Structure 1
Amino acid sequence: MRLAFLESLYAEPGPYVSVYMNTSRDGDHPERAIALRWRRLRESLSRQGADAALLNRLEAVVGADAEVPGVHGQAVFAAHGTLVLDGELPSPPEHDSARYGTLPDAMPLVAQHVPEIPYLAVVVHYGGLPTAETHGWVTLEAEAGSWPASTVTPGERLLRRVPVTIWHRASARLGHQLDAWARRAHADAVVVGGNEWACNVLVRRLPRTLRDRVVRVGGPTPTDTGRALLEPQLDRVFRGHMAAHDREIVDLFVHRRAVDGPVAEGLAATVAALQRGQVAALLLNRPPGSPPSARLWVGSRPTQLALTEAELLSFGVRAPREERADEALVRALVGTGAELVVVPEAELRLYEQVGALLRYADGGGRHSTQR
């Protein structure tokens, strides 16, 4: 999973305000409930030391997502009076939270993007055969996204309406359009729902490379909800799965580990590799957003992190400070352009639940790996 969407978060130096809040409007008096939630969080931030100007800047943004339908949440980050990131959450946070600290609390936002599976969703509706009163149509709608984040941030949608009498011919042309779109989106799967006959015609005419990635789904297929196309079906198809790109990284890690190649395993070895900007992808067994326990010492730069204060002082880092490990790791990944992969422990057990695929090997051979 690439973390480029967090780059703006670190464009400003800290301290940061990090707010996670349920902004769903599915209950009674939703605006009043959101205002009460924000009031509690604002009071907490004020006690933590956030100034009034920064809190006023946040107040203009928190809860300003009334156009997003359904159950969802909001993550907002600000620093020095500047809004640095405002993101929608596919699921409300388990608990509303607000922190004021030297590093942003970014891992819960990352957790709602995992596993970031690219897909193409297609719905085909059949309007019946022509009659004296109606012409008869087949309607196709398609949308690309990355699950689960695209649930609340759906992308551009393709809409085509074709007379049913030429659907067999038109579906071949549309199939090539969908194939080109899926290639651009690097889609792992093409999820297809709707009328069985119209879907059968379309799928049979898709290019073979795309047909092999088709997943047929049933159930209601509304297209005007303001949420992702085929949202409930996407959840059933993708939950518990990894993105194909992430699985390739895991397979490469396993291969390199077996032949003493350039990998790191364990917190100490992984942190040492991050210090050198050596990490191509960080692998975690523990899902992001789990209660953090480990802490690291950090400096002002993303690669200035260590297990002990003494180590950072030996590097010439002035005034190091202790922070949550997840906050320090996310900043290091974004700052060095590294990826994040969450892999179930049942598939790959990592020492201390953390490892790294490295960009290069140390000069002396294999990177230090703990087991």
Structure 2
Amino acid sequence: MRLSFLEPLYTESGPFASVYLDTSRDVDQPDRAIALRWRRLRDALTRQGADRALLGVLEDAVGADADVPGTHGQAIFAAHGSLVLDGELPAPPARDSARYSTLPDAMPLVSQHVPEIPYLAVAVHYAGLPTAGTHGWVRVEAESGTWPVSAVTPGERLYRRVAVAGWHHSAVRLGQELDAWARRTHADTVVVAGDAWAGNVLVRRLPHALRDKVVRVGGTTATDTRRALLEPQLGSVFRGRMAAHDRDLANIFIGRRALGGPVAEGLAAVVAALQRGQVSALLLNGPPAPAPRLWTGPLPTQLALTEEELLSCGVRAPREETADEALLRALVGTAAELVVVPEDEDELRLVGGIGALLRYADAGTPARRAPHA
């Protein structure tokens, strides 16, 4: 998973206000509900030391996603009286929260981007009667997206309406168009729903490489254009899966670990590699267990397990932060990726729940690893 969407957070220095808020619109008087939620969070930020200018910026952003229907949430970050990042959440946060801290509390936002699977959704409708012969129309909607965030930030959408008499011929051209679109967006999967006959005609005329990525689903194809096309079916297709790109990185890690290649495993070894800008991808089974907090300096690569280590490196006044915050800043600052491994991946059980693919091995020594139990 690439973390470039977090870059705006780390071009600013702290302290940051990080707000996670349920802004769902499927309740009675949603504006009133959101205002009450925000009032509690504003009071919490005030107690933590946030000033009026910062609170005003946040208040302007809260609920600004009123055009997004259904259940969802907001992740809002501000610093020094300016809005830094306003992200839509495809699901409400587990609980509303507000923190005023040196580093942004970005892991809950990242968690709602996982597993970040690029896809195409295709809904095929046949407007006609079975006895109508070549009369009637085939209507096609297609949309690109990245699951799950595209639920509330839908991608480009395509519409086609073709006479049934010309559907077989038009399906060839449409298949080529979908293939080019899938290549451009690096789609892992093509999810197809709708009329069985018209859908079969389209699928059979897709180029072979794209046909192999097709998953057929049932259920209704009627959706709000402000939500993802085929949103109800996407969860059943993608939940528990990894994006193909992340799967490739995980397989590389498994292979390197078996051969003693350049990987790190365990929090201490991973932190040491991040200090050197050596990590190309961080792998997590879950939150780092050995040390819930790390010590940090002003630079992304200034993180350590102890305050003494940073002081010995010349860092003045190190600060203790949550491991999540320190690790994310280091990953974004060194252009490293993040791979979150599903719980049922027994082949990728990591020491301490954390490991890393390294850009290079230390000269003359094997990659640093924690011993397996």
| Shared fold, TM over 0.5 | yes
**3-state SS in 1 of match to 2:320:** strand
Question: d(CA) in 2 for partners of 1:257 and 1:131?
Answer: 61
User: Unpaired runs of 5+ in structure 1?
Assistant: none
Shift in alpha-carbon separation, 1:137–1:50, aligned structure 2, 3 A: same
Instruction: Please report how far the alpha carbon of residue 367 of structure 1 lies from its aligned counterpart in structure 2 after TM superposition.
Output: 1.2
Could you tell me which residue of structure 1 aligns to residue 256 of structure 2?
256
2:217 aligned residue: 217
Q: Secondary structure at the match of 1:159?
A: strand
Q: Matched residue of 1:162: which SS?
A: strand
Equivalent-residue separation in structure 2 for 1:292 and 1:208 (angstroms): 48
CA contact (8 A) 1:271 1:306 kept: yes
- CA deviation map 1:119-174 (0-9, x unaligned): 11100111115999x96211111111110011110011011111111000000000
Distance 2:67 2:208 in 1: 39
2:40 alignment counterpart: 40
Distance (whole Å) between structure 2 residues aligned to residue 100 and residue 155 of structure 1? 33
CA–CA distance in structure 2, aligned partners of residues 293 and 187 of structure 1? 37
1:311 alignment counterpart: 309
1:13 matched residue in structure 2:
13
Decide whether the 8 Å contact of 2:22 with 2:72 is kept in 1. Answer: yes
Question: What is the one-letter code of the residue matched to 1:41?
Answer: L
In structure 2, the partner of 1:296 is 294
| Counterpart selection for 2:339 from 341, 345, 364 | 341
Q: Quote the Cα distance in structure 2 between the aligned partners of 1:349 and 1:59.
A: 42
Aligned twin of 1:98: 98
2:284 counterpart residue number: 284
Task: Report percent identity of matched pairs.
Answer: 73
Tell me the secondary structure at the aligned position of residue 120 of structure 2.
strand
Distance 1:292 1:182 in 2: 41
Measure the CA separation in 2 of the matches of 1:293 and 1:96: 25
Q: Aligned ranges for residues 1-371 of structure 1 at < 5 Å?
A: 1-128=1-128, 136-286=136-286, 294-343=292-341, 344=343, 345-371=345-371
CA contact (8 A) 1:17 1:101 kept: yes
- Structure 1 residue 365, shift from structure 2 partner: 3.1
C-alpha change, 1:329 and 1:137, in structure 2 (3 Å) is same
Contact 1:139-1:162 within 8 A present in 2 as well? yes
- Partner deviation per Cα, 1:164-216 (whole Å, 9 max, x = no partner): 11000000000000000001111111000010000000000000000000000
Instruction: Give the aligned CA root-mean-square deviation in angstroms.
Output: 1.7
Aligned equivalents of 1:41, 1:291: Cα separation in 2: 29
Q: Classify 1:118/1:359 alpha carbon distance in 2 versus 1 (closer, same or farther; 3 Å).
A: same
**1:242-288, CA deviations, whole angstroms, 9 ceiling, x for partnerless residues?**
111111111100111111110000000000000000000000011x6
Q: Is the 8 A contact 2:115 2:340 kept in 1?
A: yes
Q: Is the 8 A contact 1:265 1:350 kept in 2?
A: yes
Give the Cα separation in 2 of the matches to 1:255 and 1:292: 25
Q: CA deviation at 1:9?
A: 1.1
Shift in Å, 1:346: 2.3
1:292 CA drift (Å):
10
Query: Is this contact kept in 1: 2:289–2:353, CA < 8 A?
Result: no
- Give the letter aligned to residue 213 of structure 2: R
1 CA distance for matches of 2:121 and 2:146?
Answer: 10
Gaps of 5+ in 2: none
Deviates more, 1:346-355 or 1:109-118: 346-355
Distance 1:251 1:291, change over 3 A: closer
Shifted more, 32-41 versus 358-367: the winner is 358-367
